[in-house]
Structure 1
Amino acid sequence: MMKVAKCPHEELSYTNCIIVNENDFPLNVKYVLIIVDYSKKYIYTVKHDRSIKPGYIGFNAIHRKQAVLSLDQEIAAEPFMYNPQTQLIATLVLEADFLQKKNTSRDSYNTDQMVMAFMEQFAKHCYTVGQPIAFRFQDKKPLSLIVKEIEAADPEALASHKKRAPHKINFGILQPNSSVIFEKSEGSFLVLTGKAKTRSSNTNLFSTDWDFQKMGIGGLDEEFVHILRRAFASRVFPPEVTEQLGIAHVKGLLLFGPPGTGKTLMARQIGKMLNAREPKIVNGPEILDKYVGESEANIRRLFAEAEEEEKKMGPNSGLHIIIFDEIDAICKQRGSVAGNTGVNDTVVNQLLSKIDGVEQLNNILVIGMTNRKDMMDEALLRPGRLEIQVEIGLPDEKGRFDILKIKTSKMKENNKLDQDVDLEEIASLTKNFSGAELEGLVKAASSSALKRYIHLGNKIEVDPDAIDKLKVTRSDFIYSLENDIKPSLGMNDEALSKFIERGIINWGPTRELVEKGLMFVKQARSPETSSRLCLLLEGAPTAGTSALAAYLAKNSDFPFIKVINSREMVGFMESSKCFRINKIFDDAYRSELSCIFMNDLEHLMGYSPIGPRYQSLVLDAMYSLLSSSPPSGRKLLVICTTKRRSVLAELGLLSAFTAVIRVPYIAHQKDIRLVLEESQALSPEEIDAVMNHISHGSVFVGVKKLLGLLDSLRVMKGVDSHKRVAAFVNLLEDEGVFTPQL
């Protein structure tokens, strides 16, 4: 039986040994088993020192705390012999923190040097899981270590050079060739560097169970790989690797692209797939406040938590993710917002200083999302800020198939998707659909299927067996494609149809003009030709140039077709016109194949023959847009019409066109007969009578004008045939398109 005493002096307390007198334990005793009671037994390494009285054992403060010992308390002690076959340590994992929590330091502790110092001080010591250790390292603040895990060495495996799975033990003896790993205690402000850190301290940045299917994201594999490579590659490695390379982590990421392509969904899922704190999601307009200085304060609050942790934990700080939805609302070009309050500018300045200012934060990742990258301040897009800019564009056919597969997975799982639904076919039919529009298509098809089991009468009744019968079929998808869901970056069928309500009348050179136009359309589609082709159709008023241009655009079969018409811009200022036209060209660049139909260029430019007068801003915009090529991998066809070719030549705009097609007036009798026959407004006898009348004179008329005159005969049904013919011939004379021979 022995009594508890303090360590004789401070130096002995840092040896982590119990201090005994050689009269009590011979010098060959290295380890002692301390028995406090039957449930409390501890094994300690022994150090002999004559400054301790015989009959006493000296314990340092943390050992007394561990075993709950009081001074002069009687305890049982006996020598301990370990088993060298099973109780040698292969790997020792230690959890580190400051010994005195109030006395912390921002100094970094190099774990490689700590291992060397630890082995010098404590080799051949015994360790038990949960045992506390006081550790003095160089001239830094002393540390408290807790034995977290012990893996046993296997002498037989070492002798036979065979690898066996390591097994954990509760007690062991540290060997000179043992591996020591340090890891930081949870919530500790200790900064550890070096290679001898826990094996999972950095590589566990990503969750182990994430995949694209579970995320509900399809068609964005390449974008995800690019983001992971640029934004997170440096964060997987220990902080000292980036220090050795002399680089800082990427702190900003901008996702841009058309609405509905998955920008917000991707940003949210990036936060979920990381083992980081819950991301802060902020809608851009929420930052703005009516009180002076409050908007800037809102920005500072977003970064306050990251700043505080960076000060305490340095490079070992966790990752803080801040997501700005519609970031263009608060980060417009400085000086571009009217008014003298300057709130927008100061908010941009505050955000710039927080991301990459004088006091740089290295533990943040700012993710911004916008549909209008061109509106954002350029300073925010430079390296060091939102330096990674990823375009989230429209999905290709494979991407659309992936999205449809994800959105119909529940249907398939519950046997509600009919076997006749071929998702590959649906993917091929949905060109230029965004992810949101594909989701809308699946919802619309589901609604179409549900409607079959709703009976409308005096009451709305639901088929009681609908749950068992319900299946979404191919016809539901096709119906929804034709009637419910149209892509915002798709074909403008309604606008095009207005130009070709009467169809294309085949007279004289019309067939040749159509073939020539379709040849240019084929040229615009070919991968071997230039990425931009501008085609101009010129002709006098009512010659049918707009109808022919609309026909070529519609038959180009391009997934993106938009119409720019002067009628839609009535009352627009010059800047508004430029903005509208530029927006349509920007949208066109997001599609692989795009066609833009611009009708009446001189009207779009505001040209007036009296003066003459035109709007120079729109002219500059036209020249710039028609002359510039689309981004790499995109093809653009621009079809324009004009009634005044000479005006375009005078303004220098004619040189921007690849080819010019002239649409002539009707000037031959046989062509008049062809139009009359195809319009079916007159009977064959009436056509013969009209041709007999106009054979003694000359005709010069546009096909659109002629069809308009024929419409007047359609309301004269039941009128005598001779009167109808006479009325039509008089109309031709009155309108000046027929000149009788004198």
Structure 2
Amino acid sequence: MATLRMIAGKCPTKELSYTNCAMVNPQDFNDSVVKHIEVSTSSGPCFVFTVNSHKNVLPSTIGFNKLQRKWATLSFGQEIDVRPYQFDNNKQTLAKIILEVDFYHKKSRTTLEPYDSDAMAREFLAKFNHHGFSVGQQLVFQFQGKKLILIVKELEGADNHFLLFGGIGQCFQNTMIVFDKSEDSPIHLIGKSKGKTVHHQSRDQSILNPDWDFQNMGVGGLDKEFNAIFRRAFASRIFPPEVVERLGCKHVKGILLYGPSGTGKTLMARQIGKMLNAREPKIVNGPEILNKFVGESEANVRLLFAEAEEEEKRLGPKSGLHVIIFDEIDAVCKSRGSVAGATGTHDSVVNQLLSKINGIKQLNNILIIGMTNRRDMIDEALLRPGRMEVKIEIGLPSETGRFQICIIHTAHMRDNKMLAADVNLQELAVWTKNFSGAEIEGLVRAAQSTALSRFIKVNASNKVEVDPETGEKLMVERRDFLHALENDIKPVTLELYIDRGIIHWGEPIRSLLEDGAILTQQARSGFGLVSVLVEGPPNSGKTVGLLAAQLAKNSDFPFIKFCSPDDMVGFSESAKCLQIRKFFDDAYRSELSCILVDNIERLLDYGAIGPRYSNAVLQALLVLLTKKPPKGRKLLVICTTSRRQVLEELEMISIFTKIIHVPYISTVEQLIAVLEETDSFSKSQIAAIARKVANGRLNIGIKQLLIMIEKAKYFDEEHRVFKFLTELEKEEFLELGA
């Protein structure tokens, strides 16, 4: 049949436009004979259309719908050349059609209902069987009462000669149909016929930044914690959405990192933000949310979520991940009703945050990372599943973790060959027991400053000069780290309390240390909680500064806390209870911990006259001394008292695993053992003292005896023994025989 000159017109009815056929008059083309036509203009390419006839189409006119005219760049009344087109069924059969899909009308773009791609494929094949298709062709497709727009993105022929026909093929019932969601479209596709998002395949396939190197995270000693975060919060986001949908799995929306200051919570949150292939993280400090004007604090919370909310409405489940990092989250998320005042600002902020995370209009494209060292202050509703359900404790690093942190903070020095060969990082990890990551970083900086100071000199005119060859000579050495440990970075250590050391004056001390070693092994081997009471009369040497501290030191536990009445002078009852609770909470953060509670009767505000004790503190201690630590944590508690009778009256004695009694020095042998440990008496003087007290009665605490020995240093040599014994008799510590 010859080429006809015809005119481009409009499709006669809306229903016929949904067929995506070029509508012709029966007089021009008999649709039982001519199934497809080829259309061309004087200056444009050729387009193949499937045809259908209708009597309302004027002769010599072809009716096109809006999308057909747009694809072929046709206008009303334009003259076109039309000729029949015959498909080669052997070589132009389509094996696969990939279609980009979106809503036809913008008002439909707010719907989030899922569309079954398998049902769409069946409907497509039913409507467009034997239709011809070309790449770039646009179609209108009605499905479930919604008008969709389809664009042919890719065609795959069943025969290798398919491309010889200009990439034009015919669809049959066995053709595979795949739907790809168009860029920025909110349509939610499910099913096996669903492809990838056009132009966003990498984002859909991986939530992780493809350029991210896990070895360069700069987070040491937190491998276990990071693995837990990855498993709970990110594993579900790595798999394709259809897999997650079949599981019925919901993504985690919130992570809470809690633990002592300086342990790496903020650093880990920042690195997580960089690691994710998501929007630029929003980092906000909790106090920045609060505003003195009514409603402004709540508005600040809404502003944080505004961008995620807008994208959720526009793209639905295909929205990118928005990360919000809350530092000091306890400042704005305190338990509702716990903050005094009539404004209720804190409560409103918590309510606003809860509604955004998991309220009626919940957001599914957010990940909130909160950080705090006061988990107990945070509203419980925020921590339930569906909100900040992943709670990771960031505690003090182990020796392996400290070694990793040392490697991280000395990397630049090692790369630039400015770390001396005598610096052993494994040794440094042992030295820094009980250090946080921030304290180790501070130690490295202090060592660097010490090394730099060696090259700074003051000249004759009192001007500071720097050695011009510093760059070549400068090396950070082992002695610099030792100097920093001794003078700059000083966490509380047992040596502070054991200043004189323990004097092994006899069998009671040896037995006491043996009992302490056994109890330490019990705590270490799985008893969970072991509590020891070291008791004895005043000045018997059982204080934290002596035997109790020695027991703690011998335990070799990595984390030790000191609870002393000296640190709580002037505290109210409630403040004292909170402080004691904090000691125990901090201890729970390490696998092996030891708490020393000195002068427990002083903590209880015991007094022989007037109000005798604080019941609130007593109840707090009774609870904490019997409460087992969390799973996997071991706690050794060593308490001291010189008022055992008081504890018996308060019914505290029974809660201790073991009670160790420290007696007074009562024999000549014990006295001589102490004198030999000091420099105050010569051997002949010690022998003379032994003869004098051989038949006497001795009863003195080690602490008081050391004071008397120290005082004897100031007596003259000739009368030292006499005056020393006279002082002991005068103070009624010694009763000499006749």
So what's the TM-score if we normalise by structure 2? 0.87
Q: Give the superposition deviation at 1:196.
A: 2.6
Q: Give the superposition deviation at 1:643.
A: 0.9
Q: For each residue in 1:237-271, what CA deviation from the matched residue of structure 2 results, as whole angstroms up to 9, or x when unmatched?
A: 67777777666543333222222233223333333
Q: Give the superposition deviation at 1:613.
A: 0.6
Identical aligned pairs, as a percentage? 52
Q: Is 1:500 aligned with 2:498?
A: yes
Mapping 1:223-262, distance limit 5 Å: 223-235=225-237, 248-262=250-264
CA distance in 2, matches of 1:268, 1:125: 54
Structure 2 residue matching 1:394: 3-state secondary structure = coil
CA distance in 1, matches of 2:91, 2:409: 56
Partner of 1:706: 705
Q: Give the superposition deviation at 1:84.
A: 7.0
CA distance in 2, matches of 1:500, 1:301: 56
Q: Give the superposition deviation at 1:47.
A: 0.5
CA distance in 2, matches of 1:323, 1:729: 70
CA distance in 1, matches of 2:213, 2:96: 34
Partner of 2:441: 439
Partner of 1:119: 125
Q: Give the superposition deviation at 1:632.
A: 2.0
Q: Is 1:95 aligned with 2:91?
A: no
Q: Of residues 111, 128, 136 in structure 1, which corresponds to 2:134? A: 128
CA distance in 2, matches of 1:210, 1:222: 19
Q: Is 1:738 aligned with 2:737?
A: no
Greater mean deviation of Cα atoms: 656-665 or 298-307? 298-307
Q: Is 1:194 aligned with 2:191?
A: yes
Q: Give the superposition deviation at 1:654.
A: 0.9
Cα distance change on mapping 1:646 and 1:192 into 2, 3 Å: same
CA distance in 2, matches of 1:524, 1:239: 50
Structure 2 residue matching 1:72: 3-state secondary structure = coil
Partner of 1:680: 679
Partner of 2:518: 520
Q: Is 1:548 aligned with 2:547?
A: yes
Q: Give the superposition deviation at 1:399.
A: 3.7
Q: Which residue identity does 1:41 align to in structure 2?
A: P
Structure 2 residue matching 1:597: 3-state secondary structure = strand
Mapping 1:423-438, distance limit 5 Å: 423-438=425-440
Q: Which residue identity does 1:287 align to in structure 2?
A: I
Cα distance change on mapping 1:83 and 1:423 into 2, 3 Å: farther
Q: Give the superposition deviation at 1:136.
A: 1.9
Q: Give the superposition deviation at 1:526.
A: 3.9
Cα distance change on mapping 1:466 and 1:530 into 2, 3 Å: same
Structure 2 residue matching 1:679: 3-state secondary structure = coil
Mapping 1:17-166, distance limit 5 Å: 17-20=21-24, 30-38=35-43, 40-49=44-53, 51=55, 52-53=57-58, 55-78=60-83, 89-102=94-107, 104=109, 106=111, 107-140=113-146, 142-147=147-152, 149-153=153-157, 155=159
Q: For each residue in 1:438-459, what CA deviation from the matched residue of structure 2 results, as whole angstroms up to 9, or x when unmatched?
A: 4334444444454455555454
CA distance in 1, matches of 2:293, 2:593: 46
Partner of 1:320: 322
CA distance in 1, matches of 2:328, 2:438: 17
Cα distance change on mapping 1:637 and 1:714 into 2, 3 Å: same
CA distance in 2, matches of 1:654, 1:97: 75
CA distance in 1, matches of 2:405, 2:370: 23
Q: For each residue in 1:309-355, what CA deviation from the matched residue of structure 2 results, as whole angstroms up to 9, or x when unmatched?
A: 44555444444333322111122222322334332233223333333
Q: Of residues 285, 288, 308 in structure 2, which corresponds to 1:286? A: 288
Cα distance change on mapping 1:235 and 1:42 into 2, 3 Å: farther
Q: Of residues 296, 299, 320 in structure 2, which corresponds to 1:297? A: 299
Cα distance change on mapping 1:214 and 1:16 into 2, 3 Å: farther
Q: Is 1:184 aligned with 2:181?
A: yes
Partner of 2:17: 13
Cα distance change on mapping 1:174 and 1:573 into 2, 3 Å: same
Partner of 1:725: 721
Q: For each residue in 1:392-419, what CA deviation from the matched residue of structure 2 results, as whole angstroms up to 9, or x when unmatched?
A: 2333344444444444444454555556
Q: Which residue identity does 1:251 align to in structure 2?
A: K
CA distance in 2, matches of 1:370, 1:389: 11
Q: Give the superposition deviation at 1:696.
A: 6.0
Structure 1 residue matching 2:665: 3-state secondary structure = coil
Partner of 1:571: 570
CA distance in 1, matches of 2:109, 2:729: 103
Structure 2 residue matching 1:366: 3-state secondary structure = strand
Q: Give the superposition deviation at 1:288.
A: 1.6
The answer (yes or no) to whether the contact 1:524–1:637 under 8 Å persists in 2 is no
Partner of 2:206: 204
Mapping 1:576-615, distance limit 5 Å: 576-611=575-610, 613-615=612-614
Structure 1 residue matching 2:75: 3-state secondary structure = coil
Q: Which residue identity does 1:637 align to in structure 2?
A: L
Q: Which residue identity does 1:544 align to in structure 2?
A: G
The answer (yes or no) to whether the contact 2:97–2:178 under 8 Å persists in 1 is yes
Question: How large is the Cα RMSD of the aligned pairs?
Answer: 3.5
Q: Which residue identity does 1:728 align to in structure 2?
A: F
Q: Give the superposition deviation at 1:681.
A: 0.9
So what's the TM-score if we normalise by structure 1? 0.87
The answer (yes or no) to whether the contact 2:317–2:364 under 8 Å persists in 1 is yes
CA distance in 1, matches of 2:567, 2:260: 22
Q: Give the superposition deviation at 1:144.
A: 1.8
CA distance in 2, matches of 1:712, 1:398: 48
Greater mean deviation of Cα atoms: 378-387 or 309-318? 309-318
Cα distance change on mapping 1:426 and 1:506 into 2, 3 Å: closer
CA distance in 2, matches of 1:416, 1:173: 72
Greater mean deviation of Cα atoms: 574-583 or 496-505? 496-505
Partner of 1:372: 374
CA distance in 1, matches of 2:417, 2:653: 60
CA distance in 2, matches of 1:472, 1:332: 46
Q: Which residue identity does 2:102 align to in structure 1?
A: D
Q: Which residue identity does 1:126 align to in structure 2?
A: G
The answer (yes or no) to whether the contact 1:31–1:43 under 8 Å persists in 2 is no
The answer (yes or no) to whether the contact 1:394–1:590 under 8 Å persists in 2 is yes
Q: Give the superposition deviation at 1:653.
A: 0.9
Q: Which residue identity does 1:289 align to in structure 2?
A: N
The answer (yes or no) to whether the contact 2:94–2:158 under 8 Å persists in 1 is no
CA distance in 2, matches of 1:470, 1:80: 84
CA distance in 1, matches of 2:42, 2:467: 76
Q: Which residue identity does 2:335 align to in structure 1?
A: Q
Mapping 1:372-451, distance limit 5 Å: 372-417=374-419, 423-451=425-453
The answer (yes or no) to whether the contact 2:289–2:332 under 8 Å persists in 1 is yes
Q: Which residue identity does 1:231 align to in structure 2?
A: A
Cα distance change on mapping 1:723 and 1:426 into 2, 3 Å: closer
Structure 1 residue matching 2:660: 3-state secondary structure = strand
Partner of 1:534: 531
Q: For each residue in 1:515-552, what CA deviation from the matched residue of structure 2 results, as whole angstroms up to 9, or x when unmatched?
A: 4244335424542x512222222111111112122222
Q: Which residue identity does 1:675 align to in structure 2?
A: V
Cα distance change on mapping 1:119 and 1:266 into 2, 3 Å: farther
The answer (yes or no) to whether the contact 2:508–2:663 under 8 Å persists in 1 is no
CA distance in 2, matches of 1:151, 1:485: 69
The answer (yes or no) to whether the contact 1:252–1:386 under 8 Å persists in 2 is yes
Identify unmatched segments of 5+ residues in structure 1: 159-165
The answer (yes or no) to whether the contact 2:259–2:395 under 8 Å persists in 1 is yes
